Structure 1
Amino acid sequence: MTDKIHELLNFWFGHVGSADLPSSDRANLWFGDNEVVKQKLLQLFTQEFEQATNDKLAEWANTPRGRLALIILYDQFPRYIYRRSAQAFEFDQRALQLCIDGLDKKMDHSLTLIERVFFYMPLVHAESQQTQEQSIRLYQDLVSLSMSETTQMYQLFLAYAYAHFRVIKEFGRFPQRNKALGRACTAAELAFLKNS
């Protein structure tokens, strides 16, 4: 099991140098819409994703890096594999619970800063203002803890968190999800979607 955790995290983060900088191609993997990457994810980790969604990898949550791997399986993989469908958000609550429970246990403190970015990501994806506020505080901490050569990168992650926070503060939910989740848009949400 630990080999698979290592393989998954190595795939997700690539080579992370001493300055806590991930491989230069990671942004495209994390925030892109890449069919090649999607197929690679399916090829390498379909079994783990299915096991996780059937609660067969619960023991991974016992270690910080195992918990991070589970969070990535629940929070990131569905967004890649099921983009623009309700299934993309199906496991958000599981990811969020793992994150919050891990924060209570201070498991994030054992992770590198770049690993913590994705440990906290379920907070950014939550449709709750209180949870969003918590994400802002945690990403601010990452900026404060970062080395000078990585501060700009962590400021971008903080800006990403702020962008999500502002949407939740205004609408209480992410209008971008409405279509996939079968939710009707308000007039204000329609205007927001038209301009975004």
Structure 2
Amino acid sequence: MQTIKDCRDWDAILHFWFPEGCSLNVDAQAHSVHWRWRMQGGADDEILARFSRITEQAAAGVLDHWALDPHGRLALIVILDQFSRSVWRDGVRAYAQDVRALALVTEGLSNGHYASLETPWFKVVHGLPLGHCEGPDHLQRLDLLISLREKIAAGAPIPLRPIYISLIKQARNVREVVVAFGRHPHRNSVLGRTSTAAEEAYLAKGAFPHKNAFQKD
């Protein structure tokens, strides 16, 4: 497997998005705070300030060579699946990179890149597009996502395990939404889609799985 040695650009992405680094000796409370920061928009301002240009480059395909390296691939997934939502929040481009991010995930699962990642948080983020990208195989991908998260939780350090168990629950909740509607209704207004009556009722409740990633059973 070829590995790119000059990785300063993607290291900047990974160091920012994963303050935990690669050590499994992480305080559970701090780790939970990092997850909320990552997944609930807390990083928006800094992403806009530091990473808008590199997000444009990734969206344009300029950084595709990063995918030759497992960590470069992970950084591309972070940019296309996460940074794009911050840089273009409430706009169509926020979701326009989902198909490319999903392709990176699928290839990474088949070529050993995913398996080579050292931490549960790297693996969870690598898999995010499986649930985010809408499409006809969405339910099958969510089943895969749930299976991957179950394995991640089982292998996570014991103090961190409740966090990863909660992420299994979150993925199952996303699956219920896709079973009901075949898509993510919270995107309808941004994407110019007309909501059904059932979707309107769901949206009115505001109980979106992506906003409730750490609920306990």
Tell me the TM-score normalized by structure 2. Answer: 0.83
Structure 2 residue corresponding to 1:30, chosen from 13, 38, 48: 38
Does residue 17 of structure 2 align to residue 8 of structure 1? no
Does residue 110 of structure 2 align to residue 104 of structure 1? yes
Question: What does residue 78 of structure 2 align with?
Answer: 72
Structure 2 residue corresponding to 1:82, chosen from 76, 79, 88: 88
Structure 2 residue corresponding to 1:181, chosen from 164, 185, 191: 191
Structure 2's unaligned 5+ residue stretches are 1-5, 207-217
Distance 1:21 1:81, change over 3 A: farther
146-155 or 20-29, which deviates more: 20-29
Matching residue's letter, 1:15: E
Q: Is the Cα contact below 8 Å between 1:82 and 1:88 reproduced in 2?
A: yes
In the TM superposition, what whole-angstrom CA distance separates every residue of 1:122-153 from its partner, at most 9, and x where no partner exists? 01212211111111111111111112111101
Matching residue's letter, 1:113: P
Tell me the TM-score normalized by structure 1. Answer: 0.91
Query: For 1:39 and 1:188, how far apart are their aligned partners in 2?
Result: 34
Question: What does residue 141 of structure 2 align with?
Answer: 131
Q: Is the Cα contact below 8 Å between 1:21 and 1:114 reproduced in 2?
A: no
Three-state SS of the structure 1 residue aligned to 2:53 is helix
Cα deviation for residue 28 of structure 1 reads 3.7
Query: For 2:202 and 2:194, how far apart are their aligned partners in 1?
Result: 14
How big is the alpha-carbon RMSD for the aligned residues of Structure 1 and Structure 2?
1.7
Aligned length: 194
Instruction: State the identity as a percent.
Output: 31
Matching residue's letter, 1:157: L
Query: For 2:64 and 2:101, how far apart are their aligned partners in 1?
Result: 12
Query: For 2:102 and 2:27, how far apart are their aligned partners in 1?
Result: 25
Does residue 57 of structure 2 align to residue 51 of structure 1? yes
Query: For 1:21 and 1:142, how far apart are their aligned partners in 2?
Result: 18
Cα deviation for residue 3 of structure 1 reads 0.8
Matching residue's letter, 2:122: E
77-86 or 4-13, which deviates more: 77-86
